[in-house]
Amino acid sequence: MISLGLGEHRRAALGAGRRVRLLIVDDSSSMRNLLTRVLHEESWIEVVGTASDGEDALRRVAELRPDVITLDVEMPHLNGLEALRRIRKSWPSIVVIMLSSLTETGAAATIDALMNGANDYVSKTPPPGCTDAPQARLRRELVTRIRQFFSAPEPVRVAVSPLPPAVISAAPRSKGKRRVVAIGVSTGGPTALNDVIPVLPANLTLPVLVVQHMPAMFTRILAERLDSASRLSVCEGADGMPVEAGHVYIAPGGFHMTVRSRGGRECIALDESAPEHSCRPAVDPMLRSVNAVYGKSAIGVILTGMGQDGLLGCQLLKKTGACIIAQDERSSVVWGMPGAVARAGIADAVLDIKSVVPEILKQL
Residues with active-site annotation: 186, 213, 309
Percent helix, strand and coil across the chain, each rounded to 5? 35, 25, 45
DSSP state of 279: B
Alpha helices in 41-133 (DSSP H): 54-64, 80-90, 104-115
Alpha-carbon distance 213 to 192, whole Å?
13
Q: Residue 305: what residue type?
A: G
Alpha helices in the chain (DSSP H): 29-40, 54-64, 80-90, 104-115, 134-147, 189-194, 218-229, 283-293, 311-320, 337-343, 356-363
Q: Around Cβ 331, how many Cβ atoms within 10 Å?
A: 22
Sequence length of the chain is 364
* Sequence-distant (≥ 6) Cβ neighbours of residue 87 within 8 angstroms: 57, 58, 61, 69, 71, 94, 96
Provide the angle, in degrees to the nearest 10, between the axes of the packed helices 54-64 and 80-90.
30
* Sequence-distant (≥ 6) Cβ neighbours of residue 193 within 8 angstroms: 183, 185, 210, 212, 222, 226, 303
